[in-house]
Amino acid sequence: MILADFIEINETGLYCRYGDFYLDPKQPAGKAIISHAHGDHAVTGNKLVYSTAATADLMTLRYGKTAAKTFNTFKFHEPFLIGEVKVVFISAGHILGSAQVLMEYKGIRYLYTGDYKVQPDATCQPIEWIETDVLISESTFANPATQHPDPVTEIQKLNSIKSNILLGAYALGKSQRLINLISTHCPQKIILVHHKIMPINAVYEKHGFSLGKYQMYGRKLMKEQKEYVYLVPPFTFDSYFKATGVKRLFASGWKNLQTNEQDTLFISDHVDWNDILQCVNFTKPKQIWTLHGDGTHLQEHFAGNIEVKLLK
């Protein structure tokens, strides 16, 4: 029997009372399963963290000694117990080390997706599908009107821009994906990387993912027009609002982060509407519980077939 209270939300975050642990807690917790190392899912100060090794390395890089008191790391498909709940990490395809969390209790399977991505990405493990009784899915872009464009087509827009480019992107995950896409599909571009991104690249390479050809940014380099692409995190991108001699672009799946309507670069690391439907088709849940967005469109779509519950 599916337990309606298997996961609840309190002031600390998503709590599983049957294993006494949190999933990606918003506040420090005693026991926390961390799906991936983005800051909105991986806070500092947890006492005991369960994660993949790559996620632990990225958290340690970003947070140092406050990343966790203790890390317990597991490979994909390596089962472990927290109390009476059996847990297995399944690749989520979002960023390096990102994991879906399959939890089994009294014969019922609950799959927490965390953030996940279906589009191909050579800089992280591809998404895997596994059947579940309950699908606990993010619904960031769960709207039939939202369909992400092909990332290769998007990145090839850079080929028509002959000036230097200031390219804004999140330092973890997006930047590494962009380096690989530009190296592969815009090989004439010279990729310069902000110093804050370089250590993250090193973690990716430590875990066996070759990103492509890039070099550290140097101030003198950008004074010449050599089709440089200078990849910078958001805070640096915003500080260059008066930059001259460069085309400013921000790579994101969010419309509000695009610099203008003419020069868009829509590259998302989340699932869109069709991707979520694909996920449901492969995971075959009896129920869907939604997080991080509006699940009402899914309720309407599956009405009479699959129960959809919006976790608040």
Q: Which domain CATH number covers 220? A: 3.40.50.10710
pLDDT at 279: 98
Residue 113 confidence (pLDDT) above 80: yes
Distance CA(292)–CA(76), nearest Å, equals 24
Q: pLDDT above 70 covers what percent of the chain?
A: 98
Q: For residue 2, tell me if it sits in a domain.
A: no
Looking at the structure, do residues 80 and 163 belong to the same domain, yes or no?
Answer: no
Looking at the structure, do residues 30 and 86 belong to the same domain, yes or no?
Answer: yes
Residue 167: domain span: 151-266
Q: For residue 1, tell me if it sits in a domain.
A: no
pLDDT at 224: 86
Cα 118 to its chain centre, rounded Å, is 11
Looking at the structure, do residues 170 and 87 belong to the same domain, yes or no?
Answer: no
Looking at the structure, do residues 274 and 169 belong to the same domain, yes or no?
Answer: no
Q: For residue 305, tell me if it sits in a domain.
A: yes
Give Cα separations from 224 to 219, 220, 245 (angstroms): 10, 8, 9
Looking at the structure, do residues 138 and 161 belong to the same domain, yes or no?
Answer: no
What are 70's two structure tokens?
A: 């203790």
pLDDT at 220: 80
Looking at the structure, do residues 30 and 13 belong to the same domain, yes or no?
Answer: yes
Higher pLDDT, 258 or 200: 200
pLDDT at 264: 86
pLDDT at 134: 98
Q: How many domains does the chain have?
A: 2
What single-letter amino acid sits at 240?
Answer: Y
Q: What does the mean pLDDT of the chain come to?
A: 95
Residue 35 confidence (pLDDT) above 80: yes
Give Cα separations from 191 to 14, 166, 181, 207, 231 (angstroms): 40, 10, 11, 22, 7
pLDDT at 48: 98
Q: Which domain CATH number covers 47? A: 3.60.15.10
Looking at the structure, do residues 155 and 251 belong to the same domain, yes or no?
Answer: yes
Q: Are 134 and 125 in contact (CB under 8 A)?
A: no
Looking at the structure, do residues 20 and 120 belong to the same domain, yes or no?
Answer: yes
**Pseudo-torsion of CA 52, 57, 58, 64, nearest 10°?**
130
pLDDT at 241: 66
pLDDT at 222: 81
Looking at the structure, do residues 251 and 279 belong to the same domain, yes or no?
Answer: no
Q: Are 51 and 59 in contact (CB under 8 A)?
A: yes
Looking at the structure, do residues 63 and 110 belong to the same domain, yes or no?
Answer: yes
On the CB side of 205, how many CA atoms lie within 13 Å of its CA?
Answer: 13
Q: What is the pLDDT of residues 211-267, one digit of tens each?
A: 999 999 988 888 888 999 999 999 888 777 667 788 999 999 888 778 776 778 999
Q: What is the mean pLDDT of residues 157-164?
A: 94
Q: For residue 283, tell me if it sits in a domain.
A: yes
Q: For residue 133, tell me if it sits in a domain.
A: yes
Burial class of residue 219 (count of CB atoms within 10 Å of its CB; 0-12, 13-18, 19+): exposed
Residue 191 confidence (pLDDT) above 70: yes
Residue 132 confidence (pLDDT) above 90: yes
Q: For residue 91, tell me if it sits in a domain.
A: yes
Angle between helices 53-63 and 198-206 (to 10 degrees): 160
